[in-house]
Structures are given as C-alpha cells and as structure tokens.
Amino acid sequence: MKRPEEAAQWLKARDHFLILTHVRPDGDTTGCAIALCLGLRSLGKDAWIWENPQFSPRFLPRMEGLLRRDTAENATIVAVDMATESLLPKGGEDFAGRFQLCIDHHPSNTFYAADTLLDASCAGCGELLYQVLTALEVEVTPAMAEAIYIAISTDTGCFRFSNTSAQTFATAAACVGHGADIAPINRQLFEIKTRGRLELESRMMAEMDFYCGGAVAICCLPQKLVEQLGVTEDDLDSISGFPRTIEGVLVGAVLRDSEPGRVKFSVRTAAGFNASAYCGALGGGGHAAAAGAAIDGTLEEGKARLLEILRRDKSLWK
Amino acid sequence: MKRPEEAAQWLKARDHFLILTHVRPDGDTTGCAIALCLGLRSLGKDAWIWENPQFSPRFLPRMEGLLRRDTAENATIVAVDMATESLLPKGGEDFAGRFQLCIDHHPSNTFYAADTLLDASCAGCGELLYQVLTALEVEVTPAMAEAIYIAISTDTGCFRFSNTSAQTFATAAACVGHGADIAPINRQLFEIKTRGRLELESRMMAEMDFYCGGAVAICCLPQKLVEQLGVTEDDLDSISGFPRTIEGVLVGAVLRDSEPGRVKFSVRTAAGFNASAYCGALGGGGHAAAAGAAIDGTLEEGKARLLEILRRDKSLWK
C-alpha cells in the first residue's frame, strides 16, 4: 500500500491487533507502538503491544495496561519501525512469517509482511504513524501525541540530524497542538546522562591526545577502564562520536581493546576528510564520515598505525 | 502596535534602516537582525546592522556586507530582541532615546522605543520576526530562513525548553521549507563544545560529591582550577546546570570562590524541591527551580552549610 489512507482502511476492517516492536527497541519503535495501540483502542478495537523484554524502563509507565506477552493466535500482527525479520525482538522469533502489516520508514525494508506501508521520506516512523492516525480520524490525545513526539524526536536527535525535514517539524507542531508536554520528555531523552557515561567522558577527556593543532583527536579506551567504571553498553553507545564534539576536531578516533590482543578503531570525520580511506588502509571500511577497522596489537600500536596513516593526508597537516 | 502587519506597514513607509542588537548578542538577536536586514534589502530598502563588537565569530560570515559602525544620523533605528535600553550594546550607548521601533518577545520590555511590536508568546524573537517578514511579503531566501532558524533554535535550546510551542515548530518547518540547511547549524550551536568546557566538565565530574544515593550532587569549583584550565566566561556559561544533567540528581549545586573569601552558590532543583528556600536560608533567593546565594567563607565551609540546610529537607533524605 502506498498511502496512509489505505493502511487506515485496512486497520478499520479488522478488530484484534498485536503490535510488535524491533529488537533493542528505541523511542521510535516504542512510541509508534504506543500511539498505534492507543489510537486503535480509541476506535473500540482490541489492541495490545507485545511485551518486548528490552523495553526501556523510561517508557514502561506509558505502556501500563497495553502490554501482553502471549502470541495472540487470532490477532492481526502489525510491526512498526521494523525493517526486516532479522530485527525480531528477543523471544519473539515465532512471529516470523506471521506479519500482516508493517508500517516503516527504512529504505532497507525487505517487505517481509503481507502488506507494507513504507515512506522512507519520514525522518522517524512516528511521522508516518501520525499520518495513519489522522487517516483513521482518531481524536489524538496528549498520550498519543507524546508517543509520536518521542518517536520523531528520538530518530532526529531532537531535530538536530540532517534527516529533520519541514514535515518532521510540522508533525512536532501537531503533537504540541494535541497537548504533548514535551519539556520533560526532552530533559529525559536529551539532557540527562548517566553517571557512568559522564565519568567515561571525563576519563576520555583526560586520555584524549590532540594533534595538528587540535584538528585530530585520538582516545584510547582500555577495557580495564570500561570495566572499572562499570559502564553499560548503553553508556558506550555513540561514544565513537565523542571526540568530534570537541571544537576544532576534524578527525576523531576512539580505539578499544575489548577483545584481547585486538584493537578496534572507530573514526569520525568532518566533510572533506575520508574516514573510510583511513580505515581502508587498516583493512576496514565504512562511510566517508564514519568508518571502522580492527587489527591485531595493543592500543599503543594501533594508535601509532593510525597516526602514520593520518600523517599521509597532507590536507590535515598543513 | 499589536500585529506584525502594522509593523510591516510602518517599515514599508521608510527607506533607511539601522538595526541594533543587544549586549552580549546571542543567536536570537543576531539572527533577527540578519533576517530583518536581508528582508528589507530584498524590498529595495537601504538597511544595515550596527556592528556589535561582541558578535560571535561563528555568525560573522552570515553578516558580510551587512555591518556598519557609524551612527547613521538619517536612518530609522530599529532594535530586535532588546528588552530595555540597559541592554544597549557596548559602544552603542549613544543610541539611547533614538529607537523608533523595537521588535521583541520579552514580557519585561520597557517600551523605550517610539513604537514597539511585542509578542511575549513567541519562544524566540525570531518567531515574531518571521511573521513580520511574511507580512512584508518578503520572498524568504535560505539565508533569511537560516537566520530565523538560528534565532528560534537558540532561544529554545534546540526545541528542548518548555517555551517551545506549536508555533515554534511551525516556524522551524517554514524555515526548512524555505531552504534552511539546519544540520550544520545544529552541529555548530548544540553539539560542539570547546576543549575548555569539556575539560571543565571532566574536572567537575572528578570533584562532584554525591549524597542521598545520588539525589544530591555538589561540586566545588575553585577559582584556581578555572584559571589553570584557562576557561572563558563563555565556557562557564550554564555550568550551574551541569550537576542536574546527571541521571537521578534532584538537587544540584555549584559552589565558586571567584571573589576571595566569599562562596557563591548556584542551586538547581527538580520539581518538588525548592532551590529558593535552600538559598533563602543562606540569605539568597531566586526561583523554585533555580536560585543563588553568597556567604563569607571557604568552599569547604560553604559546602558544609549547604549540606546542613539540605539535611533538614526530610523529603530528600528518606
């Protein structure tokens, strides 16, 4: 199906729904599930969210009374923000092949569901889901509006990323218009950091080495330190981007030795500098702005190798 | 005047303009000045921005060819985002009493100009200025749209603060629709921190003391450390809020001894905890969520006094 109106018609013709979110659920898949579940219920439908065991505790209060764990033999199975069945939630493997509708915004969607509403122009799947609610003529409540807001703000880094479009802002305007109280959500999602993450950043600043008058920043993150700080994988999330948040840094790299005897490189670069070429020289690859590699050796050896490669880029050392 | 249309009529009737920004110019006053200057020029008017000596270097490239330093005897003097004449820019004191129009969104505006267009419902003055451009029937260019975007994103902390309204988002949507390239602006304004600021945060994390299972965070910031890190007043900006960005912290305080023999307290609290009452007990005051005080003594003495006061709040130590 091509238009939200078709999905709305399809949903209106059915009465029992179970909504699935993807593995390691983020704000987009979770927010979409909440908004769709509440929207369908407001139309008198029987609708539930399958209880993803990895749902973030911060979102659970919004799902009270919406969750169930059984496989709901007779329900229509709908996936939100799930691009492929390889992203099935933990414990939800049995749903493979049973999806009747998928609502998604990933261009990589594999069309695993019997029907798919896909709009890759949406920054967050929540943008598309808002159009479905509108087409369903649902009276959008503050709870639905906040769920949609969580979805779109998550996938745009609070409207900072380049995927943010005029439609994204227009959807956010609609959410506030429908009564979403966004300031506490923004504080929870975009302002607060865990002590572990802040301590990690603090130690990374202390360990950061700068070259080229500050244009290159390299940080070695020993596994010993990670364990000592007791930081979680959540805390480590996006840490590769940290050196590039420092003013003047054009090439930022984080080196880790989480696997003994191996060094893993994460390189992030400004426009005009090719992370993929640097990592290619180390046997890795990726995109121009973000790439990775892994070699045998210690952190010190890895750093020396990387510096050697960076030194060959004349545009950096002028 | 009450409506943007009146301001537009007024502006249309004049031909020579000099636009003034406030002291310590932020993105809102600067963005408004750029958008208004470009908008007036697009209508064939002679318009300039008075060269505020404190303009941020990050915004100067957007003002090339728009700046002049003389007092323009024959021009119509317009202030943007300036609430009172006590906020005149450095070196611009002679403009006092000469303002013919002020476009502003501060409820504290003193109506110092001959005419004032004030709308305190706007999160940023840029929101109001966009309405003026629309009323002027200006064809909004990407450069104007980016200036408006800088204005509104600055005053809302990239749409995070509670002043962000549906109209704010709708204005942002319009900016993107008019060709504003927002991702580089967002990176520059909201992602990048100076090395000084990051080193400061790093040292603050190391010095931070937690009480009440992490609900209270107190950081003493010795002037010696500030000087040793060579951090600027810009880097110190908003540092009072830092402890409250740590997960679980309900009461955060920063203590400084920038004046010898005195301790200055900045206290920030979550809803339900009264910063003003804590600081009141130290002879200071402020708002429920943010307050300050100063007493004679050392940082250690100040911290002991504050803890004594916080210990009396039973809701915190349960």
Asked if A236 contacts A271 with a C-beta cutoff of 8 angstroms, the reply is no
ipTM for the complex shown: 0.86
* pLDDT per position as a tens digit, B125-145: 999 999 999 999 999 999 999
So what's the pLDDT on residue A88? 97
B176 → closest Cβ in A166, A191, A192: A166
Chain A / chain B CB contacts < 8 angstroms: 113
Answer yes or no: is pLDDT of B162 > 90: no
- Work out the average pLDDT over A258-271: 93
* pLDDT per position as a tens digit, A49-107: 999 999 999 999 999 999 999 877 889 999 999 999 999 999 999 999 999 999 999 98
B interface with A, Cβ–Cβ below 8 Å: 158-162, 164-170, 172-174, 176-177, 182-183, 186-187, 190-195, 198-199, 201-203, 205-206, 210, 214, 245-248
A interface with B, Cβ–Cβ below 8 Å: 158-162, 164-170, 172-174, 176-177, 182-183, 186-187, 190-195, 198-199, 201-203, 205-206, 210, 214, 245-248
* Secondary structure letter of residue A155 according to DSSP: H
So what's the pLDDT on residue B318? 66
Cα dist. A244→A12, A192, A240, A281, B25 in Å? 48, 20, 8, 21, 26
Contact call for B247 and A195, based on CB within 8 A? yes
* pLDDT per position as a tens digit, A202-214: 999 988 999 999 9
Contact call for A170 and B165, based on CB within 8 A? no
Q: pTM to 2 decimals? A: 0.87
From chain A, pick out residues whose CB is under 8 angstroms from the CB of B168: 173
Exposed, middle or buried by CB within 10 Å (0-12, 13-18, 19+), for A230? exposed
Nearest CA in chain A to B167: A173
Answer yes or no: is pLDDT of A318 > 70: no
- Work out the average pLDDT over B32-46: 98
Percent of chain B with pLDDT over 90: 84
Answer yes or no: is pLDDT of B272 > 70: yes
Looking at mean pLDDT, say which of A49-53, A267-271, B199-203, B313-317 comes out highest.
A49-53
* pLDDT per position as a tens digit, B204-257: 998 899 999 999 999 999 999 999 988 887 788 778 999 999 999 999 999 999
Token readout for A81 is 């923000």
So what's the pLDDT on residue A264? 96
- The strand ranges marked E within A90-208 are 101-104, 115-118
Mean pLDDT across chain B? 94
Answer yes or no: is pLDDT of A271 > 90: no
Asked if B145 contacts B34 with a C-beta cutoff of 8 angstroms, the reply is no
Q: Which residues contact B168 (CB under 8 A, 6 or more apart)?
A: A173, B122, B123, B124, B127, B152, B156, B159
From chain A, pick out residues whose CB is under 8 angstroms from the CB of B158: 158-160
What is the crossing angle of helices A195-207 and B195-207, to 10°?
120
B165 → closest Cβ in A165, A176, A193: A176
Q: Can you state the percent helix, strand and coil of chain A, rounding each to 5?
A: 40, 20, 40
Helix (H, G, I), strand (E, B) or coil at B111: coil
From chain A, pick out residues whose CB is under 8 angstroms from the CB of B211: none
- Work out the average pLDDT over B101-115: 96
Q: Which residues contact A80 (CB under 8 A, 6 or more apart)?
A: A19, A20, A21, A29, A32, A33, A36, A102, A103, A104, A125, A129
Answer yes or no: is pLDDT of A237 > 80: no
Helix (H, G, I), strand (E, B) or coil at B116: strand
Is the model more confident about A167 or about A194? Answer: A167
Cα–Cα dist B100/B87, whole Å: 16
So what's the pLDDT on residue B98? 96
- The hierarchical CATH code for the domain A4-190 is 3.90.1640.10
CA distance B251 to chain A (A): 14
> Domain coordinates of chain A in residue numbers?
4-190, 195-310
From chain B, pick out residues whose CB is under 8 angstroms from the CB of A140: none
Amino acid at A117: L
A166 → closest Cβ in B161, B177, B246: B177
Helix (H, G, I), strand (E, B) or coil at B129: helix
Strand partners, A27: none
Q: Domain A195-310's class?
A: alpha beta
So what's the pLDDT on residue A253? 97
> A248 φ, ψ to 5°?
90, -10
Contact call for A193 and B247, based on CB within 8 A? yes
Cα–Cα dist A30/A21, whole Å: 6
Is the model more confident about A263 or about A236? Answer: A263
So what's the pLDDT on residue A231? 86
Place A288 in a pLDDT band, splitting at 50, 70 and 90.
confident
Contacts 24+ apart (CB under 8 A), B52-56: B52/B20, B52/B21, B52/B23, B52/B25, B52/B89, B52/B90, B52/B92, B53/B89, B53/B90, B53/B91, B54/B23, B54/B24, B54/B25, B54/B89, B54/B90, B55/B21, B55/B25, B55/B30, B56/B25, B56/B30
